[in-house]
Amino acid sequence: MRTLIVSLLALGSLLSAAQAPQQPKAQPKQPAKAFSILRTDNQPPISLASYRGKVVMLIFISTTCPHCQEFTKELVPIANDYSPRGVQFVECAVNGGAAESVPGFVRQFKPPFPVGYNTQAVVDEYLQRTALQTFYVPHAVFLNRVGKIVGDYPGESDFMKNPATNTRAELDKMLKPAAPAGKKAPTPAP
């Protein structure tokens, strides 16, 4: 009888565990393949692999989007502050006619970083998205020094409610020195 009760209790535990919703394990996203940004004026494409060893902030934009234009203006001083610290900024326009509109966008907003373009299909493949998912811009992606995506912030995310402040916070976190195994990282002086 005791064995039957123990068996029933064990079976009940297994059944309730099977019915409990399983939380997906958080894993950093990784790009499906290499990604290049096409350039205008016969310039060679920009390969993200060429930035290995640097922290990269990749921003997908539409050259005609007012939010993207404003974010680009906000990124100019941020890029000036963080580029000397090993951060590479790059924008990729995904709107129709981007190949023609990128040069005017660059002349107007004068970003101190490369701006190019690619198709939405290529961007979706890189970000491992389906064509059925709505793509809101600006869309910020942060890559660590080995090229792995560690932050992916679509245009409708909370990140974009205050993108300049959030960009600095994300970069500060990524640039923080790693603590030796078993030790805490030193607290920076105020």
Domain definitions of the chain by residue range: 28-175
pTM for the model: 0.79
pLDDT confidence of residue 41: 86
Give the 3-state secondary structure of residue 109: helix
Assess whether pLDDT exceeds 60 at residue 97.
Answer: yes
CA-to-CA separations, 104 to 22, 47, 69, in angstroms, rounded? 49, 22, 12
Q: What is the CATH number of domain 28-175?
A: 3.40.30.10
Query: Does the pLDDT value for residue 7 go beyond 80?
Result: no
In the structure, what pLDDT confidence band is assigned to residue 178 with cuts at 50, 70 and 90? confident
3-state class (DSSP) for residue 149: strand
Are 67 and 35 in contact by the 8 Å Cβ rule? The answer is no
